[in-house]
Amino acid sequence: MTPAGESPVVIGVRDGRIASIEAWDGAGPSDPDSAAAETLELGADVVLLPGLVDSHVHVCEPGNTEWEGFATATRAAAAGGVTTIVDMPLDSLPSTVDVAALEIKRAAAAGQCLVDVGFWGGVVPDNLADLAPLRAAGVAGFKCFLGDAGTPDFPSVSVAQLTGALHALRDLDAPLLVHAELPAASAPDDPVHTRHYADYLASRPRGRENLAIAEVIEAARNTGGRAHIAHLSSSDAVPMIATAKREGVRLTAETCPHYLTFAAEEIADGDTAFKCGPPIREAANRELLWAALGDGVLEMVVSDHSPCTVAMKGLDTGDFSDAWGGVSSLQLGLAAVWTGARQRGFSLADVVGWMARGPADLAGLSAKGRLVAGAAADFAVFDPEATFTVDPAALYHRHPLTPYAGRTLTGVVRATYLEGRPVDAARPAGRFLTRPT
C-alpha cells in the first residue's frame, strides 16, 4: 500500500529504512546491486501496509502499572499492526507535566517496548513555564482537558488557560490535543447511578462537547496555535470543524474505532465495558462520523486505549457511575475500522491514511506511517479478507476485557515488522521517539 495506492512492488530495506521501492514484474528487482541478505515474498492474499501509528494510548506506567504497562501495551500494539504509539500524559504517576516526570516515565519504559514509543506532555493550570522545556526534551506535543480528567493530579484548564497554552505552543510549533467537554454550566456534575446506558448517555450530552469545541476553535483562531480535537464523538460538531478549517484555523480532529463501530441503542443495561468519555452515541451519529472521515473533516482514527483492571469496570454491579470510563482496543483497531469501512465503500488505502499517515503527521513523525523511500521500514502484513471472532483471552493488553468480545471482525494482521525486522516478544526493540532537532 504505497501513497499511489495498492500495487505489486519490491521494497528494499537497509539499516532500518526503506532504501528503494520498485514495481514488481514477477522476476525481481531491476537494480543489479540490490541483492539482499534476506528475501521475503508475500502471498497474494495479504497486503503490506505501513506500520500503523496510534497517537492516543494510555499506558499507565509507572504508578498504575496494574492497569496497563509498556510491555503489555506494546505487545498488543504489535499484534494489531501498530508499530508506533504515543503515550498520553495522564493515568500514570506522576503525570507528564514537567521534564522530571517525562524522565521517570522513560526510565519505567526502558527495555520493555516492542514498538516505538513517543510521549505527549500535559497542560495543567500551573505548568505554563514547563511547556518549552518539555518540548525541548522531545515530547510530540501536549494534551489538556476542558472538563474533569477523572484523576486529581491532572486538573482541567479554563478556556483562558487553554488560550494561553495555545499562544505559548504556537512559537514551539507543538499541537495541543484537547479533551473537549465542558462541565455543566448550571451546577456541579453529580454521579448518575444507573444500569441504563441511556441514562449515562444523557448525563454527557452532545451540547457540552459542541460548546467545548467552539471554544477550542476560537482559541486557535485568536492565537494562531495548532489545536487538535481528541476522540470526537458528537457529529453535531463536524460542520463547525469544517468551517473553521476553511477559514484557515489550524485545527485537526480524530475519532475512535468504538465511535465508528458501536451504537448507543445496542448497549445493554449494565454492560459497563462500553463506558467511555465522551460516550458512544446513536447509530445516526456514527454514520455522520463516517461521512466526516470520507469528507476529510476528520483526518484520523486512533484507539484512545484507556485500560483498567476488571474490578474497576464494575461488571458486578453494572453501575455506569462507578465504572472506569475507557475502551481497551489497541490490538483491534485496524480490524474494527476495516470491518466498518469496507461495509461503507471505503478502501484499505483510506484506512491506512486515517490510521498510519494521519496520526504520524499529528505527532510530527515524518518517517512513519507511509511506504516511501527514506521512511522507517515499519510494516504490517494484513489479510483483508480473513475474519475472526474476538476472544478476550487472545488479547495482549493486561486485562482481558473489551466491548468487542464476541464480535466478528474482518482483517487479520499476519506479521508486524519494526525497522525491517519481525517484532519478537522476547527481544524488545522499540525506541523512544523525539522530535527532529
Mean pLDDT of 147-160: 92
Q: How confident is the model at residue 435 (pLDDT cuts 50, 70, 90)?
A: low
Strands annotated E in 171-257: 176-179, 227-229, 251-255
Task: Give, in degrees to the nearest 5, the angle at Cα 156 between 153 and 158.
Answer: 145
Residue 218 CA to residue 213 CA, distance in Å, equals: 9
pLDDT recorded at residue 26:
74
Our CA dihedral for 226, 69, 383, 47, rounded to 10 degrees, sits at 50
State the angle between helix axes of 238-246 and 283-295 in degrees (0 to 180), rounded to the nearest 10: 20
| Domain residue ranges in the chain | 50-370+385-411
Q: Which three cell numbers stand for residue 399?
A: 486485562
Secondary structure class of 54 (helix, strand, coil): strand
Q: How confident is the model at residue 24 (pLDDT cuts 50, 70, 90)?
A: confident
Q: How confident is the model at residue 219 (pLDDT cuts 50, 70, 90)?
A: very high
pLDDT in tens, 299-352: 999 999 999 999 999 999 999 999 999 999 999 999 999 999 999 999 999 999
pLDDT recorded at residue 35:
73
Q: Per residue in 173-198, is it b (16+ CB within 10 Å) or e — as a string?
A: ebbbbbbbbbeeeeeeeeeeebbebe
Q: Per residue in 230-261, is it b (16+ CB within 10 Å) or e — as a string?
A: bbbbbbebbebbbebbeeebbbbbbbbbbbbb
Residues in CB range of 222: below 8 A, 6 or more apart? 163
Closest CA to 343 of 269, 286, 274, 272: 286
Mean pLDDT of 91-113: 98
Strands annotated E in 58-132: 82-87, 116-119, 121-122
- 85 has which bridge partners? 54, 117
Closest CA to 253 of 268, 266, 234: 234
Residues in CB range of 271: below 8 A, 6 or more apart? 197, 318, 403
pLDDT recorded at residue 186:
46
Secondary structure class of 316 (helix, strand, coil): coil
Cα 389 to the center of its chain, rounded Å: 23
Q: Which three cell numbers stand for residue 82?
A: 501498530
Do residues 61 and 69 lie in contact, with contact meaning Cβ atoms separated by under 8 Å?
Answer: yes
Q: How confident is the model at residue 33 (pLDDT cuts 50, 70, 90)?
A: low
Residue 357 CA to residue 360 CA, distance in Å, equals: 5
Mean pLDDT of 117-138: 98
In CATH, which superfamily holds the domain spanning 50-370+385-411? Metal-dependent hydrolases (3.20.20.140)
Mean pLDDT of 2-28: 90
pLDDT in tens, 259-283: 999 999 999 999 999 999 999 999 9
Sheet holding 116-119, edge to edge: 52-57, 82-87, 116-119
pLDDT in tens, 355-386: 999 999 999 999 999 999 999 999 999 999 99
pLDDT recorded at residue 32:
46
Do residues 274 and 323 lie in contact, with contact meaning Cβ atoms separated by under 8 Å?
Answer: no
Residue 328 CA to residue 61 CA, distance in Å, equals: 16
Q: pLDDT over 90 for what percent of the chain?
A: 91
pLDDT in tens, 230-266: 999 999 999 999 999 999 999 999 999 999 999 999 9
pLDDT recorded at residue 188:
46
pLDDT at residue 191 is higher than 80:
no
pLDDT at residue 388 is higher than 90:
yes
Closest CA to 56 of 201, 259, 237, 197: 259
